[in-house]
Amino acid sequence: MKFHSSLLSLTIALSLAISSSLAAKELSVGDDAPNFSLKATNGKTYTLANYKGRQAVVLAWYPMANTRGCTIECLSLVNDGHLIRQYDVSYFMASVDPLEDNLDFAKKTKADFPMLSDPTKSAAKAFDVLSFLGFAKRWTFYIGINGKILKIDKDIEPKSAAKDMVDNLKLLGFTPR
């Protein structure tokens, strides 16, 4: 019994060591933002590389469509999106939900901006937002025109998400058009 217990402990320790070494490197300000190509609720596919040299991007990851906090965050972007659109940036919400779930969510909230779906979770893993429960963390990435990460906001208040985005854009030196 003691041998079995020791072997089990060793197996668990090795599994943890391997999984942590395979985990994505945590992104930092100044890093190149990982490229992605994701389908959106407006029928288009968005590829981050297409924005490099053209326009800054705000990518707001959210945990799950049609949940309370995510609905509040989305409605903030719907109701106050005009404030964000004063800046020369493209902004998206993204989750690991299937496109069908995000289509339903976008319809219910009347989202007037693209909501991206990452059902394979590859982009979420690259951005290191995938939680151990399998959904995305509520983090927002500000990506410069050069493709570099300008800011990673990990303290999102869903109710004021749009106004907070604008405040962050101002802090990062963006000016209204």
Per the model's pLDDT, the better-predicted residue between 38 and 22 turns out to be 38
Amino acid at 41: T
Could you tell me the two tokens for 163?
């106004």
pLDDT for the residue 25: 73
pTM to 2 decimals?
Answer: 0.86
Percent of the chain with pLDDT over 70: 86
Which region holds residue 30: left if phi is over 0, alpha if psi is between -120 and 50, else beta?
left
Report whether pLDDT(69) > 80: yes
pLDDT for the residue 2: 53
Mean pLDDT of 98-116: 97
Report whether pLDDT(17) > 50: no
Q: Rg of the Cα trace of the chain?
A: 18
Q: Tell me the average pLDDT of the chain.
A: 89
Q: Residue 51 in contact with residue 37, Cβ under 8 Å?
A: no
Report whether pLDDT(5) > 70: no
pLDDT for the residue 105: 96
- Outline where the chain has alpha helix (H): 2-22, 68-84, 99-109, 122-126, 161-171
